[in-house]
Chain A
Amino acid sequence: MSPQLAAYTTSTGEAFQFWVLGTVAVIGALSTVFMKKAVHSALSLAGTMIILAVFYLANGAYFLGIVQIVVYTGAIMMLFLFVVMLVGVTAADSLKETIKGQRWLALLCGVGFGVLLLAGIANASLKQFNGTGQANANGNVQGLAALIFTKYVFAFEITGALLITAAVGAMVLTHRERTERPKTQRELAEQRVREGKHVPPLPAPGVYARHNAVDVAGLLPDGTPSELTVSKTLRDRGQVRDVSTEALNDLRALEQRAEERLERTPVEPAHRKQSEEASK
Protein backbone atom coordinates (compact mmCIF):
# COMPACT_ATOMS: atom_id res chain seq x y z
CA MET A 1 0.00 0.00 0.00
CA SER A 2 1.38 3.38 -0.94
CA PRO A 3 2.00 5.88 1.88
CA GLN A 4 -0.42 8.31 0.24
CA LEU A 5 -3.25 5.82 0.56
CA ALA A 6 -2.23 4.87 4.11
CA ALA A 7 -3.07 8.41 5.16
CA TYR A 8 -6.75 7.86 4.60
CA THR A 9 -7.40 4.21 5.19
CA THR A 10 -5.92 1.22 6.95
CA SER A 11 -5.03 -2.14 5.50
CA THR A 12 -7.68 -4.84 5.38
CA GLY A 13 -5.82 -6.82 8.01
CA GLU A 14 -5.86 -3.93 10.44
CA ALA A 15 -9.54 -3.30 9.75
CA PHE A 16 -10.32 -6.96 10.45
CA GLN A 17 -8.25 -6.83 13.65
CA PHE A 18 -10.02 -3.65 14.70
CA TRP A 19 -13.52 -5.02 14.27
CA VAL A 20 -12.81 -8.32 16.00
CA LEU A 21 -10.73 -7.01 18.90
CA GLY A 22 -12.78 -3.82 19.24
CA THR A 23 -15.91 -5.89 19.83
CA VAL A 24 -14.12 -7.94 22.46
CA ALA A 25 -12.80 -4.75 24.11
CA VAL A 26 -16.28 -3.27 24.37
CA ILE A 27 -17.65 -6.55 25.77
CA GLY A 28 -14.82 -6.57 28.31
CA ALA A 29 -15.54 -2.98 29.31
CA LEU A 30 -19.26 -3.73 29.71
CA SER A 31 -18.57 -6.78 31.86
CA THR A 32 -16.18 -4.68 33.98
CA VAL A 33 -19.14 -2.47 34.79
CA PHE A 34 -21.86 -5.09 35.10
CA MET A 35 -20.13 -8.11 36.70
CA LYS A 36 -21.32 -8.52 40.27
CA LYS A 37 -18.02 -9.70 41.75
CA ALA A 38 -14.96 -7.46 41.82
CA VAL A 39 -12.60 -10.26 40.73
CA HIS A 40 -14.55 -10.84 37.52
CA SER A 41 -14.53 -7.09 36.85
CA ALA A 42 -10.76 -6.96 37.33
CA LEU A 43 -10.16 -9.86 34.93
CA SER A 44 -12.44 -8.34 32.26
CA LEU A 45 -10.59 -5.04 32.60
CA ALA A 46 -7.23 -6.81 32.21
CA GLY A 47 -8.49 -8.36 28.96
CA THR A 48 -9.64 -4.99 27.65
CA MET A 49 -6.24 -3.48 28.51
CA ILE A 50 -4.37 -6.19 26.60
CA ILE A 51 -6.54 -5.51 23.55
CA LEU A 52 -5.78 -1.80 23.87
CA ALA A 53 -2.07 -2.70 23.90
CA VAL A 54 -2.55 -4.50 20.57
CA PHE A 55 -4.23 -1.36 19.21
CA TYR A 56 -1.28 0.76 20.33
CA LEU A 57 1.06 -1.57 18.46
CA ALA A 58 -1.17 -1.34 15.38
CA ASN A 59 -1.05 2.46 15.57
CA GLY A 60 2.75 2.57 15.53
CA ALA A 61 3.20 3.15 19.29
CA TYR A 62 5.49 0.15 19.85
CA PHE A 63 6.98 1.35 23.14
CA LEU A 64 3.58 2.26 24.60
CA GLY A 65 2.11 -1.08 23.56
CA ILE A 66 4.72 -2.98 25.54
CA VAL A 67 4.52 -0.56 28.49
CA GLN A 68 0.75 -1.00 28.51
CA ILE A 69 1.13 -4.74 28.97
CA VAL A 70 3.95 -4.52 31.53
CA VAL A 71 2.66 -1.61 33.61
CA TYR A 72 -1.10 -1.82 33.26
CA THR A 73 -1.96 -5.49 33.02
CA GLY A 74 1.19 -6.60 34.81
CA ALA A 75 1.47 -4.19 37.70
CA ILE A 76 -1.71 -2.15 38.13
CA MET A 77 -4.24 -4.93 37.56
CA MET A 78 -2.32 -7.28 39.84
CA LEU A 79 -2.36 -4.54 42.50
CA PHE A 80 -6.12 -4.41 42.04
CA LEU A 81 -6.37 -8.17 42.44
CA PHE A 82 -4.25 -8.00 45.62
CA VAL A 83 -6.61 -5.43 47.13
CA VAL A 84 -9.66 -7.43 46.05
CA MET A 85 -8.23 -10.45 47.88
CA LEU A 86 -7.42 -8.28 50.93
CA VAL A 87 -10.88 -6.74 51.09
CA GLY A 88 -12.65 -10.07 50.57
CA VAL A 89 -13.45 -11.83 47.34
CA THR A 90 -17.07 -12.47 48.20
CA ALA A 91 -17.79 -8.90 49.24
CA ALA A 92 -20.45 -8.43 46.57
CA ASP A 93 -22.03 -5.08 45.86
CA SER A 94 -25.27 -4.34 47.64
CA LEU A 95 -27.90 -4.00 44.95
CA LYS A 96 -30.28 -1.88 47.02
CA GLU A 97 -30.60 1.63 45.65
CA THR A 98 -30.04 4.36 48.21
CA ILE A 99 -31.16 7.14 45.86
CA LYS A 100 -34.37 6.28 44.05
CA GLY A 101 -33.97 5.81 40.30
CA GLN A 102 -30.25 6.56 40.46
CA ARG A 103 -29.29 3.65 38.25
CA TRP A 104 -31.61 4.61 35.39
CA LEU A 105 -30.62 8.26 35.63
CA ALA A 106 -26.95 7.23 35.53
CA LEU A 107 -27.58 5.09 32.43
CA LEU A 108 -29.44 7.98 30.81
CA CYS A 109 -26.55 10.36 31.60
CA GLY A 110 -24.09 7.84 30.17
CA VAL A 111 -26.03 7.43 26.93
CA GLY A 112 -26.41 11.20 26.54
CA PHE A 113 -22.71 11.74 27.19
CA GLY A 114 -21.77 9.04 24.71
CA VAL A 115 -24.01 10.52 22.01
CA LEU A 116 -22.44 13.94 22.59
CA LEU A 117 -18.89 12.56 22.37
CA LEU A 118 -19.55 10.46 19.26
CA ALA A 119 -21.39 13.31 17.54
CA GLY A 120 -18.46 15.60 18.33
CA ILE A 121 -16.00 13.20 16.72
CA ALA A 122 -18.30 12.67 13.74
CA ASN A 123 -18.51 16.42 13.13
CA ALA A 124 -14.78 17.08 13.48
CA SER A 125 -12.84 17.13 10.22
CA LEU A 126 -10.45 14.23 10.80
CA LYS A 127 -9.84 13.23 7.24
CA GLN A 128 -6.07 13.62 7.05
CA PHE A 129 -4.00 10.91 8.73
CA ASN A 130 -0.27 11.42 8.33
CA GLY A 131 0.72 8.07 9.84
CA THR A 132 3.66 7.55 12.18
CA GLY A 133 5.99 6.23 9.48
CA GLN A 134 7.96 9.48 9.28
CA ALA A 135 8.16 9.94 13.07
CA ASN A 136 9.19 6.33 13.67
CA ALA A 137 11.87 6.40 10.98
CA ASN A 138 14.73 6.37 13.49
CA GLY A 139 12.97 3.94 15.80
CA ASN A 140 10.00 4.55 18.06
CA VAL A 141 11.92 4.33 21.36
CA GLN A 142 14.68 6.65 20.11
CA GLY A 143 12.09 9.18 18.96
CA LEU A 144 10.27 9.09 22.30
CA ALA A 145 13.54 9.41 24.23
CA ALA A 146 14.59 12.43 22.16
CA LEU A 147 11.31 14.14 23.00
CA ILE A 148 11.21 13.19 26.70
CA PHE A 149 14.74 14.41 27.41
CA THR A 150 14.46 17.66 25.49
CA LYS A 151 10.98 19.13 25.09
CA TYR A 152 9.31 17.36 28.00
CA VAL A 153 12.23 17.08 30.40
CA PHE A 154 10.60 19.31 33.03
CA ALA A 155 7.38 17.27 33.01
CA PHE A 156 9.49 14.12 33.22
CA GLU A 157 11.24 15.33 36.38
CA ILE A 158 7.97 16.38 38.00
CA THR A 159 6.70 12.87 37.22
CA GLY A 160 9.59 11.47 39.28
CA ALA A 161 8.59 13.67 42.22
CA LEU A 162 4.98 12.52 41.82
CA LEU A 163 5.95 8.84 41.93
CA ILE A 164 8.03 9.32 45.09
CA THR A 165 5.17 11.23 46.74
CA ALA A 166 2.72 8.47 45.79
CA ALA A 167 4.95 5.76 47.25
CA VAL A 168 5.42 7.66 50.52
CA GLY A 169 1.70 8.47 50.64
CA ALA A 170 0.72 4.83 50.23
CA MET A 171 3.06 3.82 53.05
CA VAL A 172 1.75 6.55 55.37
CA LEU A 173 -1.87 5.63 54.61
CA THR A 174 -1.58 1.91 55.20
CA HIS A 175 1.04 1.83 57.95
CA ARG A 176 -0.28 1.48 61.48
CA GLU A 177 1.85 2.32 64.48
CA ARG A 178 1.39 0.09 67.51
CA THR A 179 0.45 2.33 70.43
CA GLU A 180 0.77 -0.31 73.14
CA ARG A 181 2.96 -3.28 73.84
CA PRO A 182 1.47 -6.52 72.45
CA LYS A 183 0.28 -8.89 75.20
CA THR A 184 2.40 -11.93 75.80
CA GLN A 185 0.96 -15.43 75.77
CA ARG A 186 1.19 -15.65 79.57
CA GLU A 187 -0.71 -12.37 80.03
CA LEU A 188 -3.40 -13.53 77.62
CA ALA A 189 -3.77 -16.80 79.54
CA GLU A 190 -4.03 -14.95 82.87
CA GLN A 191 -6.63 -12.60 81.39
CA ARG A 192 -8.72 -15.55 80.18
CA VAL A 193 -8.66 -17.15 83.64
CA ARG A 194 -9.54 -13.84 85.31
CA GLU A 195 -12.52 -13.31 83.01
CA GLY A 196 -13.60 -16.89 83.56
CA LYS A 197 -14.79 -17.60 80.03
CA HIS A 198 -13.11 -19.90 77.52
CA VAL A 199 -10.21 -20.97 79.66
CA PRO A 200 -9.22 -23.77 77.25
CA PRO A 201 -8.24 -22.91 73.67
CA LEU A 202 -10.97 -22.32 71.11
CA PRO A 203 -12.39 -25.46 69.52
CA ALA A 204 -11.19 -26.42 66.05
CA PRO A 205 -13.47 -26.03 63.03
CA GLY A 206 -15.39 -29.00 61.81
CA VAL A 207 -15.19 -31.04 65.01
CA TYR A 208 -18.10 -33.51 65.12
CA ALA A 209 -19.30 -32.01 61.82
CA ARG A 210 -19.47 -33.87 58.53
CA HIS A 211 -16.66 -31.71 57.06
CA ASN A 212 -13.40 -30.59 58.60
CA ALA A 213 -12.89 -27.60 56.28
CA VAL A 214 -11.94 -24.35 58.03
CA ASP A 215 -15.11 -22.59 56.96
CA VAL A 216 -17.46 -25.23 58.40
CA ALA A 217 -18.56 -24.57 61.95
CA GLY A 218 -17.94 -27.39 64.42
CA LEU A 219 -20.94 -28.94 66.13
CA LEU A 220 -21.67 -28.70 69.85
CA PRO A 221 -22.69 -31.95 71.63
CA ASP A 222 -26.36 -31.10 71.07
CA GLY A 223 -25.78 -30.76 67.31
CA THR A 224 -25.99 -26.99 66.93
CA PRO A 225 -23.12 -25.33 65.02
CA SER A 226 -20.76 -23.15 67.09
CA GLU A 227 -19.62 -19.92 65.43
CA LEU A 228 -16.62 -19.77 67.77
CA THR A 229 -14.91 -22.60 65.91
CA VAL A 230 -14.51 -20.58 62.71
CA SER A 231 -11.71 -18.04 62.34
CA LYS A 232 -12.71 -14.44 63.09
CA THR A 233 -11.76 -13.23 59.61
CA LEU A 234 -14.14 -15.68 57.95
CA ARG A 235 -16.87 -14.78 60.44
CA ASP A 236 -16.48 -11.07 59.67
CA ARG A 237 -16.74 -11.72 55.94
CA GLY A 238 -19.83 -13.91 56.45
CA GLN A 239 -18.13 -16.93 54.90
CA VAL A 240 -19.21 -19.55 57.44
CA ARG A 241 -20.50 -22.51 55.41
CA ASP A 242 -23.53 -24.52 56.49
CA VAL A 243 -23.43 -28.17 55.46
CA SER A 244 -26.26 -29.42 57.67
CA THR A 245 -28.58 -30.07 54.70
CA GLU A 246 -25.90 -31.52 52.45
CA ALA A 247 -26.26 -35.11 53.70
CA LEU A 248 -29.97 -35.15 52.94
CA ASN A 249 -29.39 -33.60 49.52
CA ASP A 250 -26.74 -36.21 48.73
CA LEU A 251 -29.15 -38.96 49.72
CA ARG A 252 -31.91 -37.48 47.59
CA ALA A 253 -29.60 -37.22 44.56
CA LEU A 254 -28.50 -40.82 45.09
CA GLU A 255 -32.08 -42.04 45.25
CA GLN A 256 -32.97 -40.17 42.09
CA ARG A 257 -29.99 -41.61 40.24
CA ALA A 258 -30.91 -45.12 41.36
CA GLU A 259 -34.45 -44.62 40.14
CA GLU A 260 -33.22 -43.34 36.80
CA ARG A 261 -31.00 -46.36 36.40
CA LEU A 262 -33.84 -48.72 37.27
CA GLU A 263 -36.07 -46.74 34.87
CA ARG A 264 -38.73 -46.18 37.42
CA THR A 265 -40.90 -43.09 37.39
CA PRO A 266 -40.35 -40.94 40.50
CA VAL A 267 -42.68 -41.90 43.33
CA GLU A 268 -45.52 -39.42 43.72
CA PRO A 269 -45.75 -37.86 47.19
CA ALA A 270 -49.47 -38.71 47.46
CA HIS A 271 -48.76 -42.28 46.44
CA ARG A 272 -46.01 -42.53 49.02
CA LYS A 273 -48.34 -41.22 51.73
CA GLN A 274 -50.90 -43.88 50.84
CA SER A 275 -48.34 -46.62 51.02
CA GLU A 276 -47.17 -45.32 54.37
CA GLU A 277 -50.71 -45.39 55.65
CA ALA A 278 -51.15 -48.88 54.28
CA SER A 279 -48.03 -50.04 56.08
CA LYS A 280 -49.47 -48.69 59.30
Chain B
Amino acid sequence: MNPVYYLYLAALLFTIGATGVLIRRNAIVVFMCIELMLNACNLAFVVFSRMHGNLDGQIIAFFTMVVAAAEVVVGLAIIVSLFRTRHSASVDDASLMKL
Protein backbone atom coordinates (compact mmCIF):
# COMPACT_ATOMS: atom_id res chain seq x y z
CA MET B 1 0.00 0.00 0.00
CA ASN B 2 1.28 3.43 -0.91
CA PRO B 3 1.17 5.92 2.02
CA VAL B 4 -0.69 8.31 -0.33
CA TYR B 5 -3.86 6.50 0.76
CA TYR B 6 -3.57 8.33 4.08
CA LEU B 7 -3.96 11.57 2.14
CA TYR B 8 -7.08 10.24 0.43
CA LEU B 9 -8.51 9.38 3.85
CA ALA B 10 -7.67 12.89 5.12
CA ALA B 11 -9.41 14.45 2.10
CA LEU B 12 -12.46 12.24 2.64
CA LEU B 13 -12.71 13.17 6.34
CA PHE B 14 -12.30 16.85 5.48
CA THR B 15 -15.09 16.61 2.92
CA ILE B 16 -17.40 14.87 5.39
CA GLY B 17 -16.71 17.61 7.94
CA ALA B 18 -17.37 20.38 5.42
CA THR B 19 -20.64 18.76 4.36
CA GLY B 20 -21.65 18.48 8.01
CA VAL B 21 -21.04 22.19 8.56
CA LEU B 22 -23.37 22.93 5.64
CA ILE B 23 -26.08 20.43 6.59
CA ARG B 24 -26.39 20.57 10.38
CA ARG B 25 -27.93 23.47 12.26
CA ASN B 26 -27.19 22.55 15.86
CA ALA B 27 -24.29 24.85 16.73
CA ILE B 28 -22.52 22.16 18.78
CA VAL B 29 -22.62 19.62 15.96
CA VAL B 30 -21.41 22.25 13.48
CA PHE B 31 -18.52 22.84 15.84
CA MET B 32 -17.73 19.13 16.02
CA CYS B 33 -17.64 19.02 12.22
CA ILE B 34 -15.08 21.85 12.25
CA GLU B 35 -12.99 19.77 14.68
CA LEU B 36 -13.23 16.86 12.25
CA MET B 37 -11.89 19.08 9.46
CA LEU B 38 -8.99 20.23 11.66
CA ASN B 39 -8.16 16.61 12.48
CA ALA B 40 -8.17 15.68 8.81
CA CYS B 41 -5.70 18.50 8.15
CA ASN B 42 -3.50 17.22 10.96
CA LEU B 43 -3.43 13.75 9.44
CA ALA B 44 -2.38 15.26 6.11
CA PHE B 45 0.41 17.21 7.84
CA VAL B 46 1.71 14.11 9.59
CA VAL B 47 1.75 12.19 6.30
CA PHE B 48 3.56 15.08 4.61
CA SER B 49 6.13 14.93 7.38
CA ARG B 50 6.65 11.25 6.59
CA MET B 51 6.83 12.04 2.90
CA HIS B 52 9.57 14.65 3.23
CA GLY B 53 11.43 12.83 5.97
CA ASN B 54 11.58 15.77 8.39
CA LEU B 55 9.58 16.84 11.44
CA ASP B 56 8.29 20.22 10.26
CA GLY B 57 4.93 18.77 9.31
CA GLN B 58 4.50 17.36 12.81
CA ILE B 59 5.31 20.77 14.30
CA ILE B 60 2.60 22.39 12.17
CA ALA B 61 0.12 19.71 13.26
CA PHE B 62 1.10 20.41 16.86
CA PHE B 63 0.38 24.13 16.45
CA THR B 64 -2.94 23.27 14.77
CA MET B 65 -3.88 21.29 17.89
CA VAL B 66 -3.08 24.25 20.15
CA VAL B 67 -5.12 26.63 18.01
CA ALA B 68 -7.98 24.11 17.93
CA ALA B 69 -7.96 23.92 21.72
CA ALA B 70 -8.13 27.72 22.03
CA GLU B 71 -10.86 27.86 19.39
CA VAL B 72 -12.95 25.21 21.16
CA VAL B 73 -12.76 27.07 24.47
CA VAL B 74 -13.97 30.36 23.00
CA GLY B 75 -16.50 28.77 20.65
CA LEU B 76 -18.14 26.71 23.37
CA ALA B 77 -18.28 29.79 25.61
CA ILE B 78 -20.11 31.63 22.84
CA ILE B 79 -22.53 28.71 22.40
CA VAL B 80 -23.23 28.61 26.14
CA SER B 81 -23.93 32.34 26.32
CA LEU B 82 -26.13 32.13 23.19
CA PHE B 83 -28.07 29.29 24.79
CA ARG B 84 -28.56 31.36 27.93
CA THR B 85 -30.10 34.28 26.07
CA ARG B 86 -32.07 32.40 23.39
CA HIS B 87 -32.75 28.98 25.00
CA SER B 88 -31.70 27.24 21.81
CA ALA B 89 -28.45 26.07 20.24
CA SER B 90 -29.71 26.29 16.67
CA VAL B 91 -27.70 28.51 14.35
CA ASP B 92 -30.93 29.61 12.65
CA ASP B 93 -32.11 31.40 15.77
CA ALA B 94 -28.93 33.41 16.13
CA SER B 95 -29.65 35.71 13.20
CA LEU B 96 -29.14 38.97 15.08
CA MET B 97 -26.12 40.29 16.93
CA LYS B 98 -28.35 41.61 19.71
CA LEU B 99 -31.16 39.87 21.54
| Residues in chain A within 8 A of chain B (CB atoms) | 8-10, 14-15, 18-19, 22, 25-26, 29-30, 32-33, 38, 41-42, 45, 48-49, 52, 55-56, 59-61, 63-64, 67-68, 71-72, 75-76, 79-80, 83-84, 86-87, 91, 93-94, 98, 102-103, 106-107, 109-111, 113-114, 117-118, 121, 126, 128-136, 140, 143-144, 147-148, 151-152, 155, 159, 162-163, 165-167, 169-170, 173-174, 236
B45 → A minimal CB distance (Å) = 9
By the criterion CB–CB under 8 Å, are A107 and B19 in contact?
A: yes
Q: Which of B11, B25, B52 has the most CB of A within 10 A?
A: B11
B49 → A minimal CB distance (Å) = 6
B46 → A minimal CB distance (Å) = 5
What are the interface flags for B19-58 relative to A under an 8 Å C-beta threshold, 1 for contact and 0 otherwise? Answer: 1101111101101110110010011001101111111101
User: Contact partner of A174 among B42, B43, B81, CB < 8 A?
Assistant: B81
By the criterion CB–CB under 8 Å, are A38 and B29 in contact?
A: yes
By the criterion CB–CB under 8 Å, are B17 and A144 in contact?
A: no
By the criterion CB–CB under 8 Å, are A25 and B9 in contact?
A: yes
Is B69 at the interface (CB under 8 A from chain A)?
yes
Complex A-B: 28 CB contacts under 8 Å? A18-B6, A22-B5, A25-B9, A26-B13, A29-B16, A41-B29, A42-B28, A42-B32, A45-B35, A52-B43, A56-B43, A61-B58, A64-B62, A87-B28, A91-B26, A93-B25, A110-B15, A114-B11, A118-B11, A121-B4, A126-B51, A129-B3, A135-B54, A165-B70, A169-B74, A170-B76, A173-B78, A174-B80
By a CB distance below 8 angstroms, the chain A residues around B2 are 8-10, 129
By a CB distance below 8 angstroms, the chain B residues around A45 are 32, 35-36
Nearest chain A residue, comparing its CB with the CB of B19: A110
By the criterion CB–CB under 8 Å, are A128 and B51 in contact?
A: yes
By a CB distance below 8 angstroms, the chain B residues around A93 are 24-26, 29, 90
Nearest chain A residue, comparing its CB with the CB of B39: A52
Q: Which of B1, B55, B74 has the most CB of A within 10 A?
A: B55
User: Contact partner of B77 among A76, A128, A131, A169, CB < 8 A?
Assistant: A169
User: Contact partner of B51 among A86, A117, A129, A136, CB < 8 A?
Assistant: A129
For the complex of A and B, 9 pairs with smallest distance between CB atoms = A130-B53, A110-B19, A106-B22, A114-B15, A166-B70, A33-B20, A15-B1, A173-B77, A170-B77
Is B94 at the interface (CB under 8 A from chain A)?
no
Nearest chain B residue, comparing its CB with the CB of A95: B25
A139 → B minimal CB distance (Å) = 11
Nearest chain A residue, comparing its CB with the CB of B27: A87
By a CB distance below 8 angstroms, the chain B residues around A83 are 28, 76, 79-80
The B interface is mostly helix, strand or loop, or mixed, namely helix
By the criterion CB–CB under 8 Å, are A29 and B17 in contact?
A: yes
By a CB distance below 8 angstroms, the chain A residues around B46 are 55-56, 59, 61, 64
By the criterion CB–CB under 8 Å, are A117 and B87 in contact?
A: no
By the criterion CB–CB under 8 Å, are A134 and B73 in contact?
A: no
By a CB distance below 8 angstroms, the chain B residues around A18 are 1, 5-6, 9
Nearest chain B residue, comparing its CB with the CB of A40: B29
By the criterion CB–CB under 8 Å, are B13 and A48 in contact?
A: yes
User: Contact partner of A25 among B13, B18, B66, B72, CB < 8 A?
Assistant: B13
By the criterion CB–CB under 8 Å, are B19 and A33 in contact?
A: yes
For chain B residues 76-95, which have a beta carbon within 8 Å of chain A?
76-81, 83, 87-90, 92
